[in-house]
Chains A and B, each alone.
Chain A
Amino acid sequence: MRISLFIACYNDTLFPETGKAVVRVLERLGHTVEFPMAQTCCGQMHYNTGYQREAFPMMKQFLEVFRDAEIICVPSASCVAMMREHYPKMAQATGEAELAKLVEEILPRVFEFSELLVDKLGITDVGAFYPHTVTLHTSCHSLRSLQVGDKPVRLLRSVRGLQLIELPENDQCCGFGGTFAVKNAEVSAAMLCDKVRCVLETQAEICTAGDNSCLMHIGGALSRERTGVKCIHLAEILASTQSGEQP
């Protein structure tokens, strides 16, 4: 299948390894990955912080770049949530009927990474090998907006060598919330402490998720406190193989 990758601006800039891992997994499964170079951002940060005006051109840019894509893979649940929850009414608000139609046409082709593998490609065992104890943080957007359910869990359970330990209080927000982490830094930190406590309780070596945004937040505290626990995106775990080949 021809799969177009929307990497998300922060993955592009801060977490290129996640993008490489997505490419590696999909190519290993025999698919062709394309990366339209004109892509930038879904507009979520601006939209959610109240800068709706600034978010519109980003939506239009996304729609323009991906209008002919067969399948769009997004390794970030929160970007997918942005598109599904807000693009339809944003497009409506512009009064451009064509734009609204375009959103309607594109959205069914947008898949978060675990959705793409499990729902669209019908696969849970991607042939990964990862000999570590891992706990899974379910981001609020994947839990409530996308309702990914047990898709990431099924993917992780099929990874050879991996021991999955359930994260207590997994329905609780980690406290990232985009600009919330800066605008309400202290409350965000208090929420983060609860999340870190839960992660440490599992005694896992690795905390994973489908969103690097949460992981940047949780991982930032795990690093600051020298816990030795690392945060790694789900795609990077699924990309690991016995031979340890690099993407």
Chain B
Amino acid sequence: MSVRVGEAADALPFPQAAHRLLRNVQLRRNVRHATDVIRNKRGKVVAEMPDWQQLRDAGYAIKEHTLRNLGRYLAQFEEACTRAGGKVHWARDADEANRIIVSIIESHQENEVIKVKTMTSDETRLNAALEAAGITPYETDLADLIVQLGDDKPSHIVVPALHRNRMEIRQIFREKMNLPGLGDRPEDLTNAARQYLREKFLRVRVGVSGANFAIAETGSICVVESEGNGRMCVSLPRVLISLVGIEKVVPTFQDLEVFLQLLPRSATGERMNPYNSIWTGVTEGDGPEEFHVVLLDNGRSGILANEKTSDTLDCIRCGACLNACPVYRQTGGHAYGSVYGGPIGAILTPQLQDMKHSQSLPYASSLCGACYEVCPVKINIPEILIDLRAEVVENGDAPLSERLMMRAAAYALESAGHLALAQKLGRIGQLPFVHNGNIRRLPGMLGGWTDVRDLAPIPRESFREWWRKREKSAR
């Protein structure tokens, strides 16, 4: 089994990726503007909810209960979905999921699919697998379309083209849709996308979706969206395939009452999503004639087995933590080298795939706690980041210089005697670096600090020395 999270295995470590992105003025401006707008909208619609904290508690409780009984609920989902005329497939990893989807499409001799926004398919790199099999995927979510046409990567789990502004989008549409005279008003751009997509909606006979929720009780799939393009994809084609991470299951239809309040407010700052599609199996004369669900593990059961970090699977992919994160705000999502960026990506990616490909991610956080504060299902992301850091260290993968410094510091802090000695040594050791009462340059790892910051030297007398003197003179 090989777990893959998009192209994350080949990605640059976070600091190097950030180094590049921090120089992209346009991208940083776009990311900042977009996250500010969503964050403010979210703040307003959350503030108007008197029971927001109770809703968060409920969301967490439902997720926890479900994950603890995941096997049971997945079996219940399969049974209900099958009874309603759907066909359920189980995929251990990305390749197996892609193979299943390709073979369904091939069995109908089709060579095109229209896609609802699904990050899970980016995780499995479904589009590349489809193309390799001679099948053309059309992304129909406006942002995903921009990413696809621009040969780009998603930078946000809810707003994948958040790093692009209107002018850049116009340029992509002009080139890829062959519309040289395209204007730059929002109406111009959406109209171009509409013309481009409507034709696909009417022609293509296979749809692929993800899922926001899979309801065990009824075997239904729920997808929420803003554009209605998703609704087209799940209702017009003859064949519909939904790729669903196993953690997306909720026990009952009524549970949506909690999540459909939490999700839109957290994700886009809306009270309700404009389109909430829920479908169950197949219905003669209404919608797809054939419906498949591919339940994807791809590392999820491994996360579930780790008690310290399994809350990661509670995530409902609202993206609120990305918008709230001061690190994401500077770099955007591409720095995380994964389809899942931001704080949730920093804990999800290293757990989904072999840690060695993504061990810089747990450190891509100042642990400010803004992510935890906004998380609608109360995932304690900072705590999980810390536990993942501990795994990196335990695996012996932390840099040697860091390990030595940490060991030295641990020795110094072991007893008051050691600390007092370290303070004395520090005062001597710093002498070559102190100029005019200021440290402007330090070697090695600490150079990152002095690149942009001065450092006041260690003062002549520590607090404990002062205290000891004071006690003596008082006696």
Contact = CB atoms under 8 A, between A and B. Distances in A.
A167 to B, nearest CB: 15
A47 B170 CA distance: 48
B384 to A, nearest CB: 12
Given A46-B410, A51-B406, A180 B452 contact: no
A38 B416 contact: yes
B284 interface: no
A176 B366 contact: yes
Nearest to A89: B383
Contact of A14 (B419, B446, B458): B458
B14 A184 contact: yes
Given A12-B463, A54-B406, A220 B453 contact: yes
Interface string B377-401: 0000001001011111110001000
B28 to A, nearest CB: 8
Interface stretch (B112-120, B229-237, B464-472): B464-472
User: Chain B interface secondary structure, helix, strand, loop or mixed?
Assistant: helix
B459 interface: yes
A191 B368 CA distance: 12
A185 B448 contact: yes
Contacts, number: 191
Q: How large is the interface on A (under 10, 10 to 19, 20 to 34, 35 or more residues)?
A: 35 or more
Nearest to B426: A13
Given A35-B464, A189-B451, A48 B406 contact: no
Contact of B406 (A37, A49, A216, A223): A49
B475 to A, nearest CB: 15
7 contacts: A19-B463, A19-B467, A37-B416, A40-B415, A46-B410, A186-B18, A186-B19
A13 B409 contact: no
Contacts of B446: 182
Given A37-B464, A186-B22, A220-B455, A173 B368 contact: yes
A187 B332 CA distance: 11
Contact of A46 (B370, B409, B415): B409
B425 to A, nearest CB: 11
Q: Ordered nearest first, which 10 A-B pairs have the shortest CB separation?
A: A185-B448, A177-B366, A220-B453, A50-B389, A173-B368, A50-B393, A19-B463, A16-B463, A140-B368, A54-B410
B453 A184 contact: no
A185 B449 contact: yes
A11 interface: yes
Interface string A155-191: 0000000000000000111011111111111111111
B257 interface: no
A223 B365 CA distance: 25
A187 B22 contact: yes
Contacts of A19: 463, 466-467
A186 B366 contact: no
A40 B366 contact: no
A41 to B, nearest CB: 4
A48 B389 contact: yes
Interface in A198-247: 216-217, 219-221, 223-224
Interface in A26-70: 35, 37-41, 43, 45-52, 54, 57-58, 61
B301 interface: no
Given A16-B459, A178-B366, A191-B326, 7 more contacts: A11-B463, A19-B466, A41-B413, A58-B410, A61-B414, A180-B363, A187-B15
A50 B386 contact: yes
B326 A175 contact: yes
A20 interface: yes
Contacts of A16: 459, 461-463, 465-466
Contacts of A188: 366, 448
Interface in A113-135: none
A177 B416 contact: no
Contacts of A37: 416, 464, 467-468
Contacts of B388: 50
The listed residue with most A CB atoms (<10 A of its CB), out of B398, B402, B454, is: B454
